[in-house]
Amino acid sequence: MGLWGEWRAARDRRRRAGSYLGKLLPTAEPEDIRWLTSFGAGDLLAIRELAFAQRAIGLIVAERDALDDRTASDVAHQLAQVIDRESRQSPNTGRAWAERWRAYTAALAVRGGHEAPGARLARVMLAGAEIAEPTNAQLVRATQFVHATRGRANEALRAAFGVASLPEDIKPSALRINS
C-alpha cells in the first residue's frame, strides 16, 4: 500500500474509532446514576465514575475483541483527545482518569482469583464511587452494569469496525495466513 493508501486507511480507522467512542461516551442512564447515588455517592461522582467505567470497558473491549490489533490504539488515541478537552475544563479529570484506568487494568491482571473479571471491574467502579465494601446486592447490580456495558461496547465495535466473516466449511483454527 502506498503512502496515500496508508493515509486513507489511517483516516478511516480514526473515523471508525470516533464512531465507536461516540456510542460509549454519552452520559450513563439516569437509572444507573440514581442507583449509584442511592449509596451516598454524589451526583457528580456517580456520573464521573459511570463514565469512567464505560470508557474503561470500551477500551478493554477494543483491546480484546477487535479484529485488528490497531483498533485499541486508535480508540485510546481518540479517547485521549476527549480526556484532554475535559482536562482543560477541569484539571483533575486527566489525573482521575489515569488513576481509574490503572485500577481497571490492575483488576483484569489478577489471575487465579475466585471472582470473575466482571465482578472485579464492578468492584473498581464501586470503589471509585467511594463504596469500599459493597454488599452482595450492590456488587451484583454493579456487575450487571459492567456486563451490559460490555455488551453495548461489543455491538458498537461490530457496528463501527465490522464482523469477522469466516467460511462456513472451515474451522477458524484451520485458517492460515500466508506471509
pLDDT 10s digits, 66-120: 777 788 889 999 999 888 998 898 888 889 999 999 999 999 898 877 899 999 9
pLDDT value at residue 40: 81
Annotate 1-20 with DSSP letters as a single string.
Answer: --HHHHHHHHHHHHHHHHHH
Q: What is the distance between the terminal CA atoms of the chain, rounded to a whole angstrom?
A: 15
pLDDT value at residue 164: 65
Phi, psi of 27 (to 5 degrees): -55, 145
Among 33-47, 84-98, 108-122, 123-137, which range has the highest average pLDDT? Answer: 123-137
**Domain spans of the chain?**
3-174
Instruction: Please give the mean pLDDT across all residues of the chain.
Output: 86
List Cβ neighbours of 156 (8 Å cut-off, separation of 6 or more): 19, 20, 23, 24, 58
